[in-house]
A and B are shown apart, each in its own frame.
Chain A
Amino acid sequence: MKKRRTLLIILGVLVVAAAAMYGIGWLLFPDSPTTVFTAQMHIPRPKPEVIIRIHLGSLEIPITNTAFSSFFAMLVLVIIVLLVRRSINRRSEEERIRNPHGVQNVAEWAMEYLINLLEGAAGTERIKKRPLGRMIFPLVATLFIFIIFANWFSLVPGFSTIVVAPPEAAEHHEAVPVEGHGDTAAQEHETEGHGTERVLWFFGHGSEEPAPLLRAPNSHLAITAGMAVIAVVVVQVLGTMKHGAVGYLKHLATDAPGAMKGIMFPIHIISELSHVISLSARLFGNLYGGDVLLAVIFNLLAPLIPALFLGIEAFFYYIQALLFSVLTTVYIAMAVGGGHHEEEAHAAQ
């Protein structure tokens, strides 16, 4: 029976994996070999930890682990794109068009999926005589690719588990009291010497609790708020481009069905502000909640069951990336829309 054989093989692999883990546990921790079966994950705080401090004279630039992860994700993305580009450029023009193969096929599928998504969400709006979907594709597709890649990257083993000792803040050095004691004065000079000699502070003295080296970039409210602010500012800019400055204000005031015209202006202003909050809080809440959920699940359950939650979170992270970009497109389409009176005027001529 083929089914029975596959089942036995799967069972055998699981038993061998468990035995190997126990063996490694016995090698590393001879007196408590089952330590490898429990994961002591660090449940993250909403405020991310600073792991690198760059001192340039009196200026200090702290870099959090979320920012570090986002730089890392961007670097990997750039490398992937360059590799894809190189492998596509190797083929001749004809081969590329007539027989897309391998990496080119995947890239084309991804881009087609994104442009269909955006053109579907943007509808039939036009801006500067071009379809809206194509016009906003660079920005919104970038948001989508960054969000989904950063989110999925955070499910790779190693995120939130590799910990480092965070460097102390410069305030700790200045906080030493300037009293007339000989030894305190010597200590102060010593720590000041440390602060001014080294420019880059990784992995400091470890007086604070250990911090994970890598953390999901979107689990930092600042990063999601940055993207949300960019999206909403672009909405206003495109609305102004389409309707003109006065026209856009009129559009905000009167774009409502029937009897509500004229009093919609404050409501629209507030709803634009709430778009910033909703976009950023939605992404942050999902990512941070996902991090906490995974940390707790890995802490509570056996080594194999949490894999299910990794899969669930992967699906939800995809949904969040999709939602962010589609909502941005919908907001832009609503701000740019309502140009029907202009189109009628053109058609009448």
Chain B
Amino acid sequence: MEQPFSLRTELRDNRLIITTSGYINNVGGEAIGAEFRGHFDAGIREVVINLADSRVVNSVGMSFLIEIIEQLEETGGRLVFTNLDPAVEKMLTIMGLFKFAGKEKTVDEAVQVLSRRA
């Protein structure tokens, strides 16, 4: 059975890295959104969401990530997803999220891509 949701964060050169674990439903999505908002209010505009340990997600949870994309779009920021399970990647593709967010294999690659924007 999928483990309960949890997240941890790291700041690397003013970039926020959110690493999740477990099922991302409405509760998980809201927790990611709340964590993001705290850092966004402090000026963070580049975010990596590492889904390596979240193999099951639902569209309600993902809708909270659209809010993050929206806020970053409005302020010239950028979100990059990493370590996507192939089915989750397909889901996000169907939802069109990669029109406004990036995807990379690893957190290090995402950080490199974001650093090239500067």
Do A and B come together as binding partners? no
Q: Which A residues form the contact surface with B (CB < 8 A)?
A: none
